A and B are shown apart, each in its own frame.
Chain A
Amino acid sequence: MRLGGFWGLMAAALLAGLAFAALTNNEYYFFAAYAILQALIMAIAWNILGGFTGYVNFGSAGFFAVGAYSTVALHKFLPSIGIDAPLFVHVLAGAVVCGLIGLGTGYLTLRLRGVYFAIATLALAIVGQTFMNNWGYVGAAKGTSILTPDPPQLFWGYVSFSSYVKYLFVVMLLLSLMAIVISRYIATSRFGRGLAAIRDDELAAECMGVPTLRLKLISATVMGALMGVAGAPYPFMVTFVDPQSAFSLVIAVNSIAMPMIGGTAYWYGPVVGALLLGTAQEVLSVTISSELNVFLVGVVLVGCVILAPRGLVGLVNDMRAKAKRHG
C-alpha cells in the first residue's frame, strides 16, 4: 500500500467517524461502534505478540481487565486526594500499568515456547482474576459501579458532546487509529522484521544477530500497553465492572479469533478481522440473539483455519498472486 494511500485512508476513517458522531444521536450505534473498536484495538494488540512474533497468548483478557481496573482504582483514588483526572490520564495509566505487566510477565513466560507459553499466559490471567476477586478497594468479586461523568467540553467549549457515550466513541476511534499506525509501523520496520525472524525460527534469528529476548520483551510490552488502552475506558462505558465480566473468556477468544480470521502476518489482518467479525457480531446480537455471536466466532474461526489458514488477507493475496501467474 502506498504511503499516501494509507494516510488518506486513515484521514477518511477519522472524518467518517466524526461525521457519524455529529449526525447520529441514537446512542445504540455508539455502543455498537465502541464495542467493535475495542475489539479492534485488542485484535491489533494481540497480533503484535501472537501474529508478528508468533507467541500465541491466551491472557489477553487479563491485560484488558487490568486496564479496566486501573481506571476503577484511579477513578476512586484520585478524587480522594482532590484530583479530577480527564479520560486520557486513565488511558495513559492503563497503558503504562499493562505495559509494565506485559514486560514482567513476558520476562517470566517468554522463555517458554508454543503450547507451554500459551498455558502460562492463561494461568497468569487466572492469577489476575483471583487477585481482583479479592481486592476490596476495587469492589472484589461483587464488582464496582462507576457513574458516567458529564460529557466534557473540549477546546474551550468549541467542541461539546451530546452524551458521554458519543465522547467515548470518538476517543476510541482516535485510539484505534493510533493502534493501527503503531501496528503498521512495527510491521514495516527493522523491529518488525526481527519479530518475523523470531516467529519463523527463533534459534536461527538469534544466530543471525537478532537479540531475540529483548525483541520479545518489547513486543510483549507493546501488546500489554495496547490491551490496557483498550480496557481503560471500559468502566465508563459499561458503568459496572466485576472480575467475571472483565476477565471474560469471550473477550480473550475474540482478540485471538479476529487476527486469525483477518491474517496474522499482516498489520491490516486484525483490522479486517475485527471489522468483519465485530460488525457481524453486533448485527447478530440485535437481530437474532446475543448468545449467537459467540457461536459465530467459533464457526468462522474453524472455517478460516481450514479454508484460509493465513487469514482472509492471506487468502486474497494468494488468489491475486495466482491470477497474476496465470496471466
Chain B
Amino acid sequence: MAERILSVKALTKRFGGFVALDCVDLQLDEGERLGLIGPNGSGKTTMINCISGALLCDQGTIIFKGADITRLAAHRRTRRGIVRSFQIPRPFRTMTILQNLMVPMEYAVAPGARGGDLETEARDILDVVGFRGRANDNSGRLTQVDMRKLELARALAAKPRLLISDEAMAGLSSSEVDEILDILFKLNGRGVAVIMIEHIMRAVFRFSERVVVLDAGRKIAEGTPAQIVKDPLVERAYLGV
C-alpha cells in the first residue's frame, strides 16, 4: 500500500462569523489522484489555501510527509513539496516564461544552484507543457490556455510531491481541457500526488481515482467517481432538490 502523504484533520476556517470550513478531514496517499468538487462557495479554494499556507487555519492539523505543517509559512510548505496553481493565473508579468520558472527553481528547489543547469531543467519542463521554443515570450501577453499551462509549468518547476491544481481548466474549450489533463496525467505518472479542483465533471471523473465533495464547508461525500455520481447528497447539493 502506498504511503500516506497528506493528512488533514478537523480543519476549520472562519471569516468573521462565516464558517468557510467546518471540521473537514482529508487523506491522500503518495501518487494518488484526488478530485475535490463542490458548488460555488463550498470551501474548496479555502481548503487549498489552508493546505498550501496562503491562509492559516483556525483549528485542525495538517500533516505532510509525517511532519506537522499546520503553522508553517507558505514558502516553506512549497519547499517541502506542496505546490499549488492558482484558479486565476498569476504569472510574474514582467518576466519571460523561462524567468517565471526560474523563480521556484531558485527558491523552492535549489537555493544556490547554478543558473545554467537550472535553465536546462526549465526548458525540459517547458517541453512537457508544450512551450518548446517559447521560453523568451513575455508572460504578461499569453492567451488564457497558455496562462494555465504556465501556471502548471511553474508549479512543476517547484518539484512538487503534491500538486494542487485549482480549476486549471475553467473556461477552456474541450480540446484545451484534454491538453491540461494530459499534462496532469504525465506529472502523476512521475509519482506526484495531485488534488484537482474542478467544475468540469468530465475532467474530474476521468482524472480522479477518488473524489471528495464539499458543500457549505463540510465534507458530504467521498468515494470513487462511480459512487459519487450516484450519491443522493451530492445530487441535492448540486441541484438543490
Interface on A for B, CB 8 Å cutoff?
Answer: 190, 193-194, 196-197, 199-201, 203-213, 265
Contact = CB atoms under 8 A, between A and B. Distances in A.
A189 to B, nearest CB: 10
Given A200-B95, A201-B92, A207 B103 contact: no
Contact of B52 (A197, A207, A211): A207
A207 B99 CA distance: 16
B90 A194 contact: no
A193 B102 contact: yes
Contact of A197 (B78, B84, B92, B158): B92
Given A204-B86, A207-B75, A210-B75, A196 B94 contact: yes
18 contacts: A193-B102, A193-B106, A194-B103, A194-B107, A197-B95, A201-B91, A206-B53, A207-B53, A208-B107, A208-B108, A208-B154, A208-B158, A209-B78, A209-B79, A209-B103, A209-B104, A211-B75, A211-B107
Interface in B99-138: 99, 102-104, 106-109, 111
Contacts of A210: 75, 103, 107
A207 B92 contact: no
| Most interface-central of A196, A206, A207, A210 (chain B CB within 10 A) | A207
Nearest to A265: B94
A203 B91 CA distance: 11
Interchain residue pairs A-B with the least CB separation, the first 3: A209-B108, A200-B92, A209-B107
Contact of B90 (A201, A211, A265): A201
Contacts of B92: 196-197, 200-201, 204-205
| Most interface-central of B75, B91, B99 (chain A CB within 10 A) | B75
Interface of B: 52-54, 73-75, 78-79, 83-84, 86, 90-95, 99, 102-104, 106-109, 111, 154, 158
Given A209-B79, A212-B75, A190 B95 contact: no
Contacts of A211: 73, 75, 107
Given A201-B93, A208-B158, 18 more contacts: A190-B107, A193-B102, A193-B106, A194-B103, A200-B94, A204-B86, A206-B53, A206-B75, A206-B78, A207-B53, A207-B54, A208-B78, A208-B107, A208-B108, A209-B108, A210-B103, A213-B73, A265-B94
A209 to B, nearest CB: 3
Contacts of B83: 207-208
Contacts of B99: 193
Nearest to B140: A200
A208 B93 contact: no
